[in-house]
Amino acid sequence: MGIKETLARNFRQPSGLMGKLVGLFMNKGNDFMNRFTIDFLHPQSSDRILEIGFGNGKYMHEIAGKIKTGFVAGVDFSKTMVAQARKRNYTYIKQGLMDIKLGEVQQIPFENESFNKVFTVNTIYFWPNPDSGLKEIHRILKLDGQLIISFRSKDKMEKLGFTKHGFTLYETQQVMELVKKAGFRDIRVESTVDRMLDVNCVIAVK
């Protein structure tokens, strides 16, 4: 397996030592993108927030520090990242302010209407079935809850060699249409530039 295939596999599902290194790389490479997203998430002290695909849990940790009476949870299908995130957030988990679970977007391991905000950054490329994933997000969101899906556009991502391996790329309009199909409303997009790439946040309400 070549280096591009190895990178792509670990961006999708970080594993082992390489996965840990990829987690650190993603923190640095996607820091602007995560912070741009969290600005629109606007965490409040009583929020119940779910992150889908949390890497090593850095941004969950930061959000939990802003929440007093709320709750932060995460779902990721990488055992390596779940272990890393649990270690990083041990204190918050022990205090009952956070829960980190191994799982996938098409079968989110939480009850109906558990959260009022859900966000995910750079994961939609790896969802095996976006329709079922979005229906699951709709299920676990409270009425009037907010969804933010952040991604880089197909036009920009396809210029990166490794995205030929296991990535499904989207333009902004495609993601907006998927979100609408899943039953969300008040759909809008917020975009900016991050170095040579773009950042797109599709924001919607249940």
What are the structural domains, with CATH classification, of the chain?
3-205 (3.40.50.150)
Give the pLDDT confidence score for residue 149 in this predicted structure.
98
Structure-token pair, residue 193: 């530039």
Q: What is the pLDDT of residue 194?
A: 84
Report how far apart, in Å, the C-alpha atoms of 165 and of each of 24, 120, 125, 132 are.
Answer: 21, 21, 11, 22
What pLDDT is stored for residue 157 in this prediction?
86
Q: What is the mean pLDDT of each run of 10 residues along the chain (206 residues)?
A: 50 51 58 95 96 94 92 94 94 96 96 98 95 98 98 88 82 97 98 90 98
* Distance (Å, whole) CA 51 – CA 2: 31
User: Cβ contacts of residue 20 below 8 Å, gap of 6+?
Assistant: 14, 56, 80, 84
Structural tokens at position 109 = 């391991």
* pTM for this prediction: 0.87
Using the CB atoms, write b or e for 13-34: b if 16+ within 10 Å. bbeeeebbebbeebeeebeebb
pLDDT of residue 22: 55
β-strand partners of 199: 192
Q: Say what the pLDDT of residue 15 is.
A: 52
| pLDDT at res. 68 | 81
